[in-house]
Amino acid sequence: MVYHFHREGFDVPRGVKLLAEGDAYPHQAIRYGDNAWGVQFHAELTRAMMHRWVVHGAARFSMPNAQKGAQHLEGRMIFDQPLKDWLWNFLDIVFDRCAVEERKAAENCLTA
| Claim: this prediction has a pTM higher than 0.75 | no
The residue type of 66 is A
The predicted structure's pLDDT at residue 15: 94
The predicted structure's pLDDT at residue 1: 54
Residue 18 φ then ψ, to 5°? -80, 125
Residue pLDDT, tens place only, 29-71: 889 988 888 888 888 888 888 888 888 877 877 777 777 778 7
End-to-end CA distance of the chain: 33
Cα–Cα distance for residue pair 55/20, rounded to 1 Å:
28
Question: Regarding predicted confidence, which is higher, 51 or 2?
Answer: 51
| 38, 87, 81, 104: CA torsion to nearest 10 | 120
Domain-wise residue ranges, the chain? 17-111
Question: Regarding predicted confidence, which is higher, 69 or 87?
Answer: 87
Residue pLDDT, tens place only, 16-25: 998 888 777 7
Helix (H, G, I), strand (E, B) or coil at 24: coil
